[in-house]
Amino acid sequence: MDRTNIFNVKDLVGQSVNLYGWVATRRDHGKLIFIDLRDRSGIVQVVFTPSSKDYAIASELRSEWVLRINGQVKARPDKMINAEIETGKVEIEPEEMEVLNKSETPPFPLDTDGYEIGEESRMRYRYLDLRRQRMAKNMTVRHKMATFIRNWLSDMGFIEVETPILTKSTPEGARDYVVPSRLYPGSFFALPQSPQQYKQLLMVAGIEKYFQIARCFRDEDTRGDRQPEFTQLDLEMSFVEREDVMELNEKLLIDLIKNIYPEKEIQEIPFPRLSYKEAIEKYNTDRPDLRKDKESPNLLAFCWVVDFPFFEKTDEGWTFTHNPFSAPKPEYAEDLISKKNIADILTTQYDVVLNGWEIGGGSIRNYKPEALEAVFEIMGFKKERIKENFGHMLEALGYGAPPHGGIAWGFDRLVAILNSEPNIREVISFPKTGDARDLMMNSPSELEKKQLKELHLKIEK
139-169 residue pLDDT tens: 999 999 999 999 999 999 999 999 999 999 8
- Torsion region of 208: left, alpha or beta (phi above 0 gives left; psi -120 to 50 gives alpha): left
pLDDT number for residue 376: 87
Same domain, 155 and 87: no
Same domain, 35 and 96: yes
Neighbouring C-beta atoms of residue 79, cutoff 10 Å: 5
Same domain, 68 and 174: no
- Let me know if 48 is exposed, middle or buried by CB neighbors in 10 A (0-12, 13-18, 19+): buried
Over residues 409-424, the mean pLDDT reads 96
Torsion, Cα of 340, 343, 349, 351 (10° steps):
180
Q: DSSP of 429-441, one letter per residue?
A: SS---TTS-BTTT
In a domain, 451, yes or no: no
Same domain, 285 and 402: yes
Same domain, 180 and 217: yes
> Which of 88-92, 238-242, 330-334 has the least mean pLDDT?
330-334
CA angle 184–190–196, rounded 5-degree value: 135
CATH number at residue 33: 2.40.50.140
Neighbouring C-beta atoms of residue 139, cutoff 10 Å: 15
Q: Which domain range does residue 356 map to?
A: 127-427
H or E segment and range at residue 151: helix 133-155
Question: What number of residues does the chain have?
Answer: 461
**Is pLDDT at 172 greater than 70 in this prediction?**
no
In a domain, 254, yes or no: yes
In a domain, 81, yes or no: yes
Q: What is the Cα–Cα distance from 162 to 443, expressed in whole angstroms?
A: 27
* CA-to-CA dists, residue 272 to 302, 316, 414, angstroms: 7, 36, 19
Q: What is the Cα–Cα distance from 335 to 306, expressed in whole angstroms?
A: 19
pLDDT number for residue 157: 98
| Number of domains into which the chain is organized | 2
Contact 6, 21 (CB under 8 A): yes
- What confidence tens digit (pLDDT) does each residue in 207-263 have? 999 999 999 999 988 776 789 999 999 999 999 999 999 999 999 999 999 999 999
User: What pTM, to 2 d.p., does this model score?
Assistant: 0.93
- Let me know if 350 is exposed, middle or buried by CB neighbors in 10 A (0-12, 13-18, 19+): buried
CATH number at residue 217: 3.30.930.10
